[in-house]
Structure 1
């Protein structure tokens, strides 16, 4: 489970970096930056829901 969370975090960071790259390279000519940011938001929501599920089933413990 920890590996899944780390992979999701790395995917989020990669998507954020690619959005920055597309913003600089395309200069507003395409929608690749928007798609990349949409992927980042979706992955962030998936990670948040997964963490909430893990707390609910007591896989991880909150204080």
Structure 2
């Protein structure tokens, strides 16, 4: 589960970085083309929602559990 979460976070950051690249690259010709940037941002939002739902499902199924900070006496 740790590797799935790490891979999902890398994909989310990659989608955000590609949206930034598209934002900087588009519009140099005088014609704004934001479809690539919007598609990358939509992918990022979709991946974030999917990751949240997977973490929620894993918690409900008992695959992961919160550990918290141990109380020392």
Task: Report the TM-score when normalising by structure 2.
Answer: 0.80
Aligned length: 63
Q: Which runs of 5+ in 2 are unaligned?
A: 69-73
RMSD: 1.1
| Larger helix percent | 1
Greater relative contact order structure (CA < 8 Å, 6+ sep): 1
Q: Is the 8 A contact 2:8 2:47 kept in 1?
A: yes
Residue number in structure 1 paired with 2:71: none
Provide runs of 4+ in structure 1 moved above 3 Å. none
Q: Which runs of 5+ in 1 are unaligned?
A: none
